[in-house]
A and B are shown apart, each in its own frame.
Chain A
Amino acid sequence: MIRALGRRALSLLLALIAASVVIFVMLQAVPGDPAAFMLGMNASEDAVAALRAELGLEGPLVVRYLAWISGMLGGDFGTSYTYRVPVAELVSERIVVSAPLAVMALVLSTVIAIPVGLIAAARRGGAADWGIMGGTQLGIAVPNFWFAMILVLVFAVKLRWVSAGGFPGWDAGLWPGVRALVLPAIALALPQASILARVLRSALLDTLDQDYIRTARAKGLSRRATVVRHALRNAMIPVLTILGLQFSFLLAGAIIIENVFFLPGLGRLIFQGITQRDLIVVQSVTMVLVFAVILVTFLVDLAYTVADPRLRRR
């Protein structure tokens, strides 16, 4: 099992390296000069050239790539062209918003999805099942930003229970910070919960058809115990896969929600970096996210071996 995990880790490392090359090359090919953008329409050619030299935009590609990689390995993610502060500082400022948001959304979607999926599978074909299928269909179809705007209009503008967006910072206290993330987390969790519930339901239906379930019932186990103790554990593998994918999506894919609630998160950082041609921010933050995704994938693989004893023997 260690060897299998070791092989997996190696292939993920190679994926990381390949991703870094692709990201670097693609960003060099993008039209638009960062220095020209920063200095605007009235800047002289000399000023632009001076800034390009200052930002380190000149020089052979391979040298710049290696400089970037070696910097990252040493913890130096470069200095943002636009903000002139270390990228690591920007990332750490933003991740304290994006990571808790992603975790909150994930927890919320799991808490909603598991009971819902269980009920739908246990009462297959019944009224509850049909209701849940319809509801999850709606949850997947509704665009999460539209749902977010409705939440804002109802809870912030009309009821004034929360502010319309923004993040006061964790310095202002735990509760104000969490309160600022509640609506965004709900908006993110809804489609994720719908997907998760459906996946769980179909995985459960597969396991519930197995012989050992019938045996368990025949042995005298109650319906609930059968479903929770036997069926659920075996249905977890596809659920774990989806959870891993969802966390990766939530970390950076929440850009639209971050826009609607004007949260200073990672998604918006990348988006602003692209518009302002702050290539070093885009490069480094994308690498951070690729690394996070790969880490989560590896953790999910580990979780498989825990959930499925058959995988441990290999």
Chain B
Amino acid sequence: MTQTLKMSVAAFALMASGAWAAQDSIIIGMQLEPPNLDPTGGAAAAIDEVTYANLFEGLTRFASDGAVVPGLAQSWSVSEDGLTWTFDLRPGVVFHDGTAMDSADVVFSLNRARAEDSTNAQKALFAGIADVSAPDTTTVVITLDAPNGNFAFNMAWGDAVIVAPESVATNATQPVGTGPFRFVEWAKGDSVTLERFDGYWGAAPALTRATFKFISDPNAAFAAMMAGDVNAFPVFPAPETLANFDADPRFSVIVGSTEGETILAMNNANLTDVRVRKAISHAIDRQAIIDGAMFGYGTPIGTHFAPHNPDYVDLTGGSAHDPDMARALLAEAGATDLRLRMALPPPSYARRGGEIIASQLRAVGIATDITNMEWAQWLEQVFRGKDFDLTIVSHTEPADINIYARPNYYFQYDNAGFQALMETLGITADADARTALLQEAQKMIAADYVNGYLFQLAKTGVADSRVEGLWQNAPTQANDLTGVSWRAGP
């Protein structure tokens, strides 16, 4: 009797342990559900987080350290004048539906992305392409309007993955790519399941099955992680609980950096006096924001560039926390009774950070009116309508300092010198020359105090301590599972 009881209790406990994953499958938690699964048809980062490197591949791709490595193109070369790029495709690549991948598919994908009516969210990546042609099945020749040293980097983005004309119409719900995993099912609102693809051209991944579970509520994420319902949560939404996971040997906390420069954007068309912008920059205490809003995770930045990038220049000294200087500057500019409107989108770095900045500004005599808004409203009012004074947002595209060359971008910085600098950078291929130009660019936007540069967003994730190979940094927003495996043993 006791034996049966023990057996049934054990069986019940086994059943009841919920999503106990076998050693070759993994359950990854994500906060936002992707609206669809076609990375070439939408802007949501969540799409790339599920599909990049797992389902779809491009000519090139990002490695975990941000380096651009060969993808579907095993090598490439540039002509002397920098206008013609020739990509050598790998032979024997097949899509998940069995059709072969060849140069015709590459031509199709690139032409589709740069078409007049394309809904690709990053059309700018393809804008400089004049012509795409396929002299044979494994070679693609791309002719540019002007030299672009960044072209291989551009082709590594998720928006530039290669798709097949046979399956492209249904990619949003039934993605068909060339990646090491193939799509199994999407239980909307709940999860997406992928399985290892046996026809993959490269090394087979260690995992046979991967499930992405969507859990938006931070408390639910904490409970799911603790209960073992998910094995890893690469971008964990409840940073205040990280100490719990750190202290528990069952889990490991993975802290890395992202390409997200978090800035206090200032509407340069309203705040025209550089002394006022300088005053605001000096009123801000970056470490207080990092500690108060981000629980200590984040690296201060002095300009719009990622600190982990070798070309970074540390300019935080030029906008160090100095309330006295801020007050002096405001008095000098005659702006002693400022009342500014701050629009804050949903993320906590904005909502919490905004409150902290408002109190720091109040200490130097600037009053702020805070409006919390959702993304859709922020996009319409702040981003398109430019109807704001201050806002806080994190720019997560890699190497995006060139947004300061767009006078119509939402913060409306119009500096011909900077625009010329960016044009020169666009056609420069030599590494040392590029470094010098990038450093000059960083100094220029810091000296003009275009925006308040706060910190680089950290990537804080939690995982079962037996999981290995998860990306620590996020050079692009992706969950590359090709190198992930479970460590054998307890």
B383: A residues at CB distance < 8 A: 41
Cβ of B375 within 8 Å of any chain A Cβ, yes or no, is yes
B19 cross-chain contacts in A, Cβ below 8 A: 163, 166
Residue of B18, B33, B121, B217 with most chain A CB atoms under a 10 A cut-off:
B18
Whether A40 contacts B121 by the Cβ 8 Å rule is: yes
Number of interface residues of B (CB under 8 A): 50
The contact string, 1 if C-beta is below 8 Å from chain B, for chain A 233-276, is 00000000000000000000000000111111100110010011
| Contact of A169 (CB < 8 Å), options: B36, B117, B187, B379 | B187
Question: Would B119 and A47 count as touching, CB distance under 8 A?
Answer: yes
Number of contacts between A and B (CB, 8 Å)? 156
Give B160-193 as 1s and 0s: 1 = Cβ < 8 Å from A's Cβ atoms: 0000000000001100000000000001111100
Instruction: Report Cα–Cα, A277/B42, bound state, in Å.
Output: 14
When the two chains form the complex, which single residue of A40, A46, A152, A166 contacts B213, counting CB atoms closer than 8 Å?
Answer: A166
Task: Please measure, in the bound complex, the distance between the C-alpha atom of A279 and the C-alpha atom of B274, giving whole angstroms.
Answer: 42
Please report the C-alpha to C-alpha distance between residue A67 and residue B215 in the assembled complex, in whole angstroms.
35
Measured as residues with beta carbon below 8 angstroms from the partner, the interface class of chain A is 35 or more
The interface stretch among A81-89, A128-136, A201-209, A222-230 is A81-89
Give the Cβ gap from A180 to chain B, nearest Cβ, in Å. Answer: 9
Give bound CA distance, A54 to B18, whole Å.
43
Question: Cβ of A44 < 8 Å from any Cβ of B?
Answer: yes
The distance from the CB of A34 to the nearest CB of chain B, in whole angstroms, is 8
A298 within 8 A of B: no
**1/0 contact string of B31-56 vs chain A (CB within 8 Å):** 00101100000111000000000000
Do B220 and A259 touch (CB < 8 A)?
Answer: yes
Residue pair B42, A38 in contact (C-beta under 8 Å): yes
Chain B residues with CB under 8 Å of A143's CB are none
Given contacts A42-B122, A259-B216, A275-B374, contact A166 B190 (CB under 8 A): yes
A31-B381, A32-B374 are known contacts. Are A166 and B229 too (CB-CB below 8 A)?
yes
Report if A304 contacts B (CB, 8 A). no
For B35, B120, B124, the residue with the greatest tally of chain A CB atoms inside 10 Å of its CB is: B35
Known: A36-B384, A39-B119, A165-B229. A153 touches B36 (CB 8 A): no
Chain B CB within 8 A of A138 CB = no
Bound CA–CA A4/B120 (angstroms)? 58
Measured between beta carbons, the chain A residues less than 8 angstroms from B120 are 47
Q: How far is the CA of A133 from the CA of B60 in the complex (A)?
A: 68
The answer to whether A43 and B229 touch (CB under 8 A), given A33-B379, A82-B35, is no
Chain A residues near B328 (CB-CB < 8 A): none
Task: Render A33-72 as a binary contact track against B, CB cut-off 8 A, 1 for contact.
Answer: 1101111111110110011001000000000000000000
Q: Beyond A38-B35, A42-B122, is A32–B380 a contact (Cβ under 8 Å)?
A: yes
Q: Which residue of A lies closest to B400 (CB)?
A: A42
Residues of B within 8 A of A259 (CB): 216-217, 220
Report whether A39 and B376 are in contact in the complex, using a CB–CB cutoff of 8 Å: no
- A198 CB → nearest B CB, Å: 30
Pick from B35, B214, B229, B374: contact of A164, CB under 8 Å: B229
Given contacts A47-B123, A167-B190, A276-B35, contact A41 B379 (CB under 8 A): yes
Q: Is the CB of B224 within 8 A of A165?
A: yes
- Find out whether the CB atom of A94 lies under 8 angstroms from the CB atom of B376: no
User: Which residue from chain B places its CB closest to the CB of A175 in the assembled complex?
Assistant: B15
Are A32 and B119 within 8 A (Cβ)? no
Query: Which residues of B are found within 8 Å of A32, using beta-carbon distances?
Result: 374, 376-377, 379-380
B16 CB within 8 Å of chain A: yes
Cβ of B227 < 8 Å from any Cβ of A?
yes
**Given A38-B42, A162-B16, A262-B215: A156 in contact with B123 (beta carbons within 8 A):** no
What's the least CB distance linking B398 to chain A, in Å?
13
Q: Does A213 contact B (CB under 8 A)?
A: no
Q: Given the known A-B contacts A36-B380, A275-B375, are A156 and B172 also in contact in the complex, defined by CB atoms under 8 Å?
A: no
8 Å CB contacts to B: which residues of A153-205? 153, 156-157, 160-167, 169
Is residue B325 contacting chain A, with contact meaning CB distance below 8 A? Answer: no
Alpha-carbon gap, A260 to B217, bound state (A): 6
Which B residues are in CB contact (< 8 Å) with A162?
16, 18
Interface residues of B in 41-89 (CB under 8 A from A): 42-44
Q: Is B13 an interface residue (CB 8 A)?
A: yes
Q: Contact between A51 and B43 (Cβ–Cβ < 8 Å)?
A: no
- Interface status of A308 (Cβ within 8 A of chain B): no
Judge whether A99 is part of the interface by a CB distance below 8 angstroms. no
Q: Evaluate contact between A93 and B189: CB separation under 8 angstroms.
A: yes
Complex Cα gap A37–B42 (Å): 10
Which of B13, B121, B381: most chain A Cβ within 10 A? B121
CB of A122 closer than 8 Å to a CB of B = no
What residues of A have a CB within 8 angstroms of the CB of B213 in the complex? 166, 262
Q: Report yes or no: B220 in contact with A37, Cβ–Cβ below 8 A.
A: no
- Separation of A216 and B380 alpha carbons in the complex (Å): 70
Cβ–Cβ < 8 Å partners of A51 in chain B = 119
Are B123 and A33 in contact, with the CB atoms below 8 A? no
Decide if A31 touches B43 in the complex (CB within 8 Å): no
The docked-state distance in angstroms from the alpha carbon of A268 to that of B219 is 16
In the complex, which of the residues A50, A152, A164 contacts B117, with contact meaning CB atoms closer than 8 Å? Answer: A50
A165 and B36 contact, Cβ closer than 8 Å, known pairs A37-B375, A275-B376: no
Residues of chain B in range 348-396 having any CB-CB distance to chain A below 8 Å: 374-377, 379-381, 383-384
A42 to B125, CA, bound (A): 10
CB <8 Å contact, A149 and B36: no
Say yes or no: A165 contacts B215, CB within 8 Å: yes
- B residues in contact with A260, CB < 8 Å: 217, 219-220
Contact indicator B119/A164 (Cβ below 8 Å): no
Q: At the interface, yes or no: A90 with Cβ under 8 Å from chain B?
A: yes
Whether B189 contacts A268 by the Cβ 8 Å rule is yes
Distance between Cα atoms of A102 and B169 in the complex (Å): 37
Cβ contact within 8 Å between A46 and B116: yes
- Tell me if A164 and B226 are in contact (CB < 8 A): yes
Residue of B nearest to A90 (CB): B188
Note all chain A residues with C-beta closer than 8 A to B42.
38-40
In the assembly, what is the distance between CA of A156 and CA of B16, in Å?
9
User: In the complex, what's the smallest C-beta–C-beta distance from A213 to chain B, in angstroms?
Assistant: 49
Nearest CB to that of A149 among chain B residues? B219
Q: Is the CB of A82 within 8 A of B36?
A: yes
CB-CB under 8 A from B119, the residues of chain A are 39, 47, 50-51, 54
Q: Contact residues of B with A, CB < 8 Å?
A: 13, 16-19, 33, 35-36, 42-44, 116-124, 172-173, 187-191, 213-217, 219-220, 223-224, 226-229, 374-377, 379-381, 383-384, 397
16 contacts between A and B (CB under 8 A): A32-B376, A36-B376, A37-B375, A38-B35, A38-B43, A43-B123, A152-B220, A156-B223, A160-B16, A165-B215, A165-B223, A166-B224, A167-B190, A264-B187, A269-B189, A276-B376
Chain A residues engaging chain B, CB cutoff 8 angstroms: 31-34, 36-44, 46-47, 50-51, 54, 82-85, 90, 93-94, 149, 152-153, 156-157, 160-167, 169, 259-265, 268-269, 272, 275-277
With A38-B43, A40-B44, A83-B188 known, 5 other A-B pairs at CB within 8 A are A83-B35, A83-B173, A167-B190, A260-B219, A262-B220
